Structure 1
Amino acid sequence: MPCTLRPAALIALLAGASLPSLAYAEEAAPDQIVVTGRGLDAAPAAVAYDVQDIDKDRLAVAASSRIEDALSAAAGFQQFRRSDSRASNPSAQGITLRALGGNATSRTLMLLDGVPVADPFFGYVPLSALAPERLAMARVTRGGGSGAFGAGAVAGTIDLTSASPDQLGLFGGRALVDDRGETELSATLAPKLGAGYLVASGRWDRGQGFWTTPVDQRVPASVRASYESWSTSLRAVAPLTGDIELQARVAAFNDARTLRFAGADTAASGQDASLRLVGRGAWKFDALAYVQARDFNNVVISARTFLPTLDQRATPSTGIGGKFELRPPVGKAHVLRLGADWRYAEGHTEEDVYTAGKITGQRRAGGTNRDLGLFIEDDWTLGPVILTAGARADRWSVRNGVLDSVLSGQASTTVYPDRAGWDGSFRGGAVVKLGGGVALRGSAYTGLRQPTLNELYRSFTVFPIVTRANAALQNEKLRGFEGGIDWRPAAGLSFSATAFDNKVRHAIANVTVATNVRERQNVDAVHANGIELGAEAKFGAFSLSGSFAYTDAKVEAPGTALDGKRPAQTPRYAASATAAWRPSPRTTLAITLRHTGAQFEDDLETDVLPAATTLDAYAEVPVAGPFSLVLRGENLFDEAVVTRNSGGSIDLGTPRTIWGGVKIAFR
């Protein structure tokens, strides 16, 4: 007899489900199955750590519509440089929290639906591929992590959750243009198919960009920071049984930019795929596997001759990984998590060296990194007290490191020794609910981060500074503790305060070793302590949210010029506040005030990046049927935001920019 598959079963078939699972999906009544598209719920003691949730409404009002600006709602979030992802080198898009920076690699773990998103070679985050309009929430957890993929979370974790059709609607799109003629187009299609759903999305941004070079420093070779980027993704969620769902995702992106000088072109691209099974029965589990293919290229132009000095023409890399987490039924008072994760990164850089505009040499360098982690964590609820403790063991390895070079006709090969070892980490904490909406919390933790392939093998130039790789780098290790209070005196009103002390031992920093020469080295430690404040108020259609971070960070390197100095690119103060009015579901007016304190360009504190305060605005109002008018304003004060200062040669961030366009939404 003929067989007809319902749409939910068809999605599961395309995602690779077995025939018995399909048969169950066909037999089960759709009204008995609920899919969420999310992972397992957060454990009860997640609030023992300093956690800030940025909801979809707050993500949506970022005036630049860039994920890095949306995440700045969590004060202390930063990239290595202040530039947004339209006017920065992608390799500088490392993200961190708590001023635990010092170089351009991420010390904060970023996940999208449970999958690590950092580039497997560089460790930077492809920010232009993460569109805020596709997300339901971002959860920012400061402090070290020891759960799944915890190796790498030395400064914290940012967990992004994709939006579902209930949040997106059947179809949504928007088209905007700014006062420089730059454009932004995006769309999502999110049909419900049986008990499951499908979300297809795409975005295209392009423009001539703004002048990053001040007027008095421009030369005939100076150009605007032009850019063109696109990203697309397809995500399917389908039930396999009444309490097991399958989540599948494929995505691709490309991001091309020109920075400072004609010919200084850079580009990053990637293709990702992942499968995830989430079980919500008595034995809860979360299993996922992913693969990433990435590439990067970059041309360095001399600021004296305006000819190429280096063409990093390709940096192909592959990341493969997965995890399995199990939550067995051990009683209502306990949430026990057991699991393992594995990550593999392979990649190399291919470079042409130029002299007087002609190729005079070539380099090829790279290797592989591996990490296998085993973790266990338990939350124990005792009335108003929640206790948590967890441990993690990591088996790491650095292998196959090699540098092949041909310079001035002379060929050489350097093979670096393989290394491997075990490292352990833990975290523990407690939450005590005192009544009256008051809760006290405290935690302590350790953590681990393995050097990236970029730090180990790839040298780079931001003219005139050359930064050398170092294949002998050790793992970074975190020790930290914190205490805080959360107060919810009434519905819609909350306050939080946290004091912390974090130290990253063997921190990898770009250390000045000669004039215009730096090298990646392990310093004794980067030590940061400070306070973080947060507040949120919702009164009917009006909301106000804000956060503030004060961080006293310093490098501990006795006997060197670095000792006692602040890490490069780390401000002492950061604050963000957003006020919004939403009188109806389709009407929003919002303003965001953001302040970043002064910071130093370099490790020796010779070049200052002054403090900057910016004001952004967002407005959305319905005009006819499904159409709405959207207006956005970036940096309305036209603040001169210095993003780079190398001996007085500076780059500037986004000037005042006004966007206007239309949005369409069909529920």
Structure 2
Amino acid sequence: MHARIARFSVIFCLCIPAPLLAQGQEEPADSLIIVTGQGLPDTPASPAYGTVEIDRESVLTVPSGRIEEALADVAGFQQFRRSDSRSSNPTAQGVTLRALGGNATSRALVTLDGVPVADPFFGYVPFAALIPEQVGRIAVTRGGGSGPFGAGALAGTIAIESLSPEMQAPLGASVLVNDRGGTEGASSFSAPLGRGFATGALRWDRGPGFYTAPGSQRVPASVPARFDSVSGQLRAVAPLSDDLELQARVLAFDDARTLRFEGAEISASGQDYSIRVVGRGRWQVDALAYVQARNFSNIVVSSSRFVPVLDQRNTPSTGLGGKIEVRPPVGDAHTLRLGVDYRRAQGELQEEPISAFTGQITARRRAGGATSDLGLFVEDDWQVGQLILTGGLRADRTTIADGFFREADANGAIVIDNRFADRSDWSLTWRAGALLRASPSLDLRAAAYSGLRLPTLNELYRPFVVFPVVTQANADLRNEELRGVEAGLDWRPLDGVELSLTAFDNRLENAIANVTLGANLRQRQNLPAIETRGIEAGLRATRGPIRFIGSLSYSDPRIEGVGASLALDGNAPPQSPRWMAAASVTYEMAENALVSLSLRHVGDQFEDDQESEVLPAFTTLGAYAQVPLVGKLDLVLRGENLFDEEIVTRVSGGALDLGAPRTLWAGVRYGF
């Protein structure tokens, strides 16, 4: 019911006619104030950290139409599983960079207009909630860092920015259908709101999906991975004065999936609210506050008897936080940033094991707690001729509190009642970098940094089963800490051609991983360290109507094992491929007419820390075509995995899960 109310409210709000929003808000031309809806500009030294930009065209022309595929154009980006947000368990959508592995929790910080979007309980990124048609730009920074919301940016930062109003049509819509009967629909509006603007968007994806089980492993209970997700948002921006603007957003989503077996139903839903004030005067200010209300449910079906064995019926969680950043006027040579930010996550798991033989509930479990992070940061960019130096410090007060795990039997009698001690700590992290404009065509850069991440409530308190493997929680987990260095160059040998190259060495201490304890038994533990070294390369070239974008990454991550983890010493962390590559070539035939091909390669990776199960490498080819029909109406054709490459996303004792096979799409798009 909670999710249905959220869906109804989103659809109702987005049905408000755009002219009604603007009614009675006209202002005389001489009082017009231009508002952008953006945050403060990037600082001069931002390029020192090797940021890669994904533009709007790249987001809209990916063959799958998913944001996660657009992000995969940056080699080194990966989710915990190789599936996208139509056929994976949402809790496996943790993102990382640089093959730093993980356990389904994000090690990269993902923000939408400055607001962290990860789930407060699990730490995954709800990609189905993010609307590609509303994205204006994505900036991906690989490597750790401090600054606002820096805690959590171990592997890097993915900053998603909304489309500016001048780039939006008053009305936009698209409808596509694929060869399996799946549909994808989106609509949007943009309208003046006094001296500001209001925008809204709705996206609805649904379909029968595909079989994730290979044909030889299907049973009568096997079903395709059905999906049905809806997401909508309203955003309003208004000036408070000549150089001060107010930004507000409401986002809601409801995401339902069926995985592998009939009855294995998963639901994720949420509502996010944020408000932001941006001042662009002499004293620049960026202040925001947000609150998230999320929920998750999951019915686990036995892979031997094909009946429900666990009902994770409810996982309510709340995230709230905010930041204030001030940039005082300290002269043209310096850009000084001072600020404070705060994040708090609170939630609990409510689940009921079910007997596979009787169908009766055998126990009732509840587990949860709260974590918080108060951060103070200072950073300065100093420009000396062609050299830009940057350095920053960040202090974090992290707290883990109110942790508990309680289990009752079928009759309600308490059999386990664990209360975990509260704990808190101060941590100091830093980053420093240098950018040298060596010539008009060559930039040299170097950086060093540290960072931290709190364990999530999921890692601390929630055990789970992916039959037959049981993974235990661990309330004693410590914060992850990263230290790293990198150096690189950006070279523009010709007009329209840019080559980037980065070498890095990152060390992640206290890395949280699912560590094997015995046959079919794992526990989340802090490993002594994961060390990863590698090379990242990128090439962008535009020649007339042809545009090429390519990226390549090689990483060599290794576990450092000591004591209980000594047997893992030298092993690669799970879900960490050495090689990743992506390339796309686009030919623009005329205005709004284009054809694009995209190639993606992911190398071998291990399923587990014992290196006993291998997920083989895969290479996929996708295509996108857009042909104008009349006015702003375009024909859109898309093709995913055109050669029908087998993508193994999970392996356990010979049982496989597969990713998306060849999928063909056709439809129309107006105004986007």
The 3 A distance-change label for structure 1 pair 79 and 90 is same
Number of the residue aligned with 1:640: 646
Within the candidate set 589, 599, 606, 1:583 is matched to: 589
Number of the residue aligned with 1:472: 476
The DSSP-based 3-state class of the residue aligned with 2:444 is strand
Q: Work out whether residues 202 and 233 of structure 2, in 8 Å CA contact, stay in contact via their aligned partners in 1.
A: yes
For residues 505 and 97 of structure 1, what CA distance do their matches in structure 2 show?
16
After superposition, residues 254-293 of structure 1 pair within 5 angstroms as 254-293=254-293
Q: Can you list the C-alpha shifts for 1:363-413, whole angstroms capped at 9, x where unaligned?
A: 000000011000000000001000000000000100000111013655121
After superposition, residues 242-641 of structure 1 pair within 5 angstroms as 242-355=242-355, 356=357, 357-407=359-409, 410-411=413-414, 412-559=416-563, 560-641=566-647
Counterpart amino acid of 2:167?
Q
For residues 380 and 11 of structure 1, what CA distance do their matches in structure 2 show?
44
For residues 310 and 455 of structure 1, what CA distance do their matches in structure 2 show?
19
The DSSP-based 3-state class of the residue aligned with 1:489 is coil
Q: Can you list the C-alpha shifts for 1:69-128, whole angstroms capped at 9, x where unaligned?
A: 010110010000000000000000000000112210000000000000000111000001
Q: Work out whether residues 504 and 535 of structure 2, in 8 Å CA contact, stay in contact via their aligned partners in 1.
A: yes
Q: Work out whether residues 364 and 410 of structure 2, in 8 Å CA contact, stay in contact via their aligned partners in 1.
A: no
For residues 495 and 420 of structure 2, what CA distance do their matches in structure 1 show?
59
The DSSP-based 3-state class of the residue aligned with 1:424 is strand
Number of the residue aligned with 2:11: none
Q: Work out whether residues 12 and 238 of structure 1, in 8 Å CA contact, stay in contact via their aligned partners in 2.
A: no
The DSSP-based 3-state class of the residue aligned with 1:239 is strand
Counterpart amino acid of 1:361?
A
Bigger Cα displacement from structure 2, 548-557 vs 405-414: 405-414
Counterpart amino acid of 1:414?
N
Number of the residue aligned with 2:5: none
Bigger Cα displacement from structure 2, 570-579 vs 617-626: 617-626
After superposition, residues 22-61 of structure 1 pair within 5 angstroms as 29-31=30-32, 33-61=33-61
For residues 166 and 509 of structure 1, what CA distance do their matches in structure 2 show?
45
After superposition, residues 70-109 of structure 1 pair within 5 angstroms as 70-109=70-109
The 3 A distance-change label for structure 1 pair 250 and 399 is same
Counterpart amino acid of 1:528?
T
The DSSP-based 3-state class of the residue aligned with 2:58 is helix
The DSSP-based 3-state class of the residue aligned with 1:456 is helix
Number of the residue aligned with 2:12: none
Counterpart amino acid of 2:143?
G
For residues 298 and 593 of structure 1, what CA distance do their matches in structure 2 show?
34
Number of the residue aligned with 2:201: 201
For residues 615 and 443 of structure 2, what CA distance do their matches in structure 1 show?
39
TM-score (norm 1): 0.95
Q: Which runs of 5+ in 1 are unaligned?
A: 1-6, 15-21
For residues 587 and 185 of structure 1, what CA distance do their matches in structure 2 show?
21
For residues 212 and 398 of structure 1, what CA distance do their matches in structure 2 show?
38
Number of the residue aligned with 1:69: 69
CA-CA distance at 1:627 after TM superposition: 1.5
For residues 231 and 258 of structure 1, what CA distance do their matches in structure 2 show?
18
TM-score (norm 2): 0.94
The 3 A distance-change label for structure 1 pair 13 and 112 is farther
Number of the residue aligned with 1:19: none
Stretches of 4+ aligned residues off by more than 3 angstroms: 10-14, 25-31, 407-410
Q: Work out whether residues 301 and 310 of structure 1, in 8 Å CA contact, stay in contact via their aligned partners in 2.
A: yes
What count of residue pairs does the alignment treat as equivalent? Answer: 649
Q: Can you list the C-alpha shifts for 1:600-633, whole angstroms capped at 9, x where unaligned?
A: 1111111110000000100011112332100000
Q: Work out whether residues 268 and 294 of structure 1, in 8 Å CA contact, stay in contact via their aligned partners in 2.
A: yes
The DSSP-based 3-state class of the residue aligned with 2:75 is coil
Bigger Cα displacement from structure 2, 365-374 vs 165-174: 165-174
Q: Work out whether residues 596 and 624 of structure 2, in 8 Å CA contact, stay in contact via their aligned partners in 1.
A: yes
The DSSP-based 3-state class of the residue aligned with 1:59 is helix
Q: Work out whether residues 11 and 237 of structure 1, in 8 Å CA contact, stay in contact via their aligned partners in 2.
A: no
Counterpart amino acid of 2:368?
G
Q: Work out whether residues 205 and 229 of structure 2, in 8 Å CA contact, stay in contact via their aligned partners in 1.
A: yes
For residues 120 and 58 of structure 1, what CA distance do their matches in structure 2 show?
29
Q: Work out whether residues 599 and 621 of structure 2, in 8 Å CA contact, stay in contact via their aligned partners in 1.
A: yes
Counterpart amino acid of 1:416?
F
Counterpart amino acid of 1:610?
P
Q: Can you list the C-alpha shifts for 1:524-546, whole angstroms capped at 9, x where unaligned?
A: 01111100000101112210011
Q: Work out whether residues 30 and 194 of structure 1, in 8 Å CA contact, stay in contact via their aligned partners in 2.
A: no
Number of the residue aligned with 2:14: none
Percent of paired sites with the same residue: 56
Counterpart amino acid of 1:452?
T
For residues 29 and 602 of structure 1, what CA distance do their matches in structure 2 show?
65
For residues 224 and 447 of structure 2, what CA distance do their matches in structure 1 show?
47
Counterpart amino acid of 2:572?
R
Q: Work out whether residues 311 and 352 of structure 1, in 8 Å CA contact, stay in contact via their aligned partners in 2.
A: yes
Q: Work out whether residues 234 and 249 of structure 2, in 8 Å CA contact, stay in contact via their aligned partners in 1.
A: yes
For residues 53 and 21 of structure 2, what CA distance do their matches in structure 1 show?
31
Q: Work out whether residues 65 and 131 of structure 1, in 8 Å CA contact, stay in contact via their aligned partners in 2.
A: no
Q: Work out whether residues 27 and 195 of structure 2, in 8 Å CA contact, stay in contact via their aligned partners in 1.
A: no
Q: Does 1:655 align with 2:657?
A: no
CA-CA distance at 1:170 after TM superposition: 1.1
The DSSP-based 3-state class of the residue aligned with 1:350 is strand
CA-CA distance at 1:307 after TM superposition: 1.5
